[in-house]
């Protein structure tokens, strides 16, 4: 089984470097273009089913990818971005200046530190891994699966399958519209590719 993890395409909050979390922000013009390049990339590839976060930016990315595939799209809140609580809607610059203490604690202990009124990255990782495990069990006859999710969720999933501590999540760059690939063989998942973006390069 091949599982492709796609980060949703760009929103205005991505462009403005705002903390997005579970805020339900639409794709912007660049994000819609990126989605078209993803659709072109998957045009001649066999895809059996698409799973998507239930947030608008992920759903729209999934729907555009699917325009020529005609797959079932299964939407789930388990694939949502980490709930970033009081940080949502704030710019990263503002957070670094005004919430340095909380930010430092989160970076030192992402598994256990809860952003005020949000969730821990450990909780987000667990729900995503549990969901992927259910996909593997329930859709074991399928060979090619796409999952459209979010930056921190994908980073935490990669940490899990690479047997890295969650504190290493920041070492992964997960660009908007990027593809990371997992492969299930003999009951073991291997990470085959991280942050593939060739389909997006030199187009805009």
Contact 149, 128 (CB under 8 A): yes
Model pLDDT, residue 202: 59
Question: Residue 103 and residue 1: Cα distance in Å, rounded?
Answer: 37
Q: Any idea which residues carry the catalytic annotation?
A: 8, 81
Contact 160, 125 (CB under 8 A): yes
Model pLDDT, residue 44: 87
Model pLDDT, residue 117: 95
Low-confidence ranges of the chain (pLDDT < 70): 202-204
Model pLDDT, residue 176: 97
Model pLDDT, residue 186: 85
Which residues are paired to 190 by β-bridges? 183
Model pLDDT, residue 204: 43
What's the CA dihedral at 18, 199, 31, 120 to 10 degrees?
Answer: -40
List, edge to edge, every strand of the sheet that includes 2-7: 72-76, 49-53, 144-149, 2-7, 179-185, 188-196
Model pLDDT, residue 203: 53
């Amino acid at each position: 089984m091949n599982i492709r993890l796609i980060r949703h395409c760009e929103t205005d909050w991505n462009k403005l470097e705002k903390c997005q979390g579970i805020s339900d922000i639409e794709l912007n013009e660049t994000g819609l273009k990126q989605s078209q390049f993803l659709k072109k990339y998957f045009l001649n590839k066999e895809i059996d089913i698409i799973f998507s976060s239930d947030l608008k930016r992920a759903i729209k990315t999934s729907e555009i990818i699917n325009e020529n595939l005609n797959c079932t799209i299964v939407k789930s809140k388990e694939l949502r971005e980490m709930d970033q609580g009081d940080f949502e809607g704030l710019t990263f610059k503002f957070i670094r200046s005004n919430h340095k203490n909380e930010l430092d604690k989160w970076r030192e202990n992402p598994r256990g530190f809860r952003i005020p009124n949000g969730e821990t990255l450990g909780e987000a990782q667990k729900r995503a891994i549990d969901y992927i495990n259910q996909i593997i069990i329930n859709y074991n006859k399928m060979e090619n699966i796409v999952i459209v999710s979010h930056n921190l969720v994908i980073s935490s999933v990669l940490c899990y399958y690479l047997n890295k501590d969650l504190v290493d999540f920041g070492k992964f760059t997960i660009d908007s519209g990027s593809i990371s690939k997992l492969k299930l063989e003999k009951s073991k998942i291997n990470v085959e590719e991280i942050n593939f973006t060739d389909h997006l390069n030199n187009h805009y």
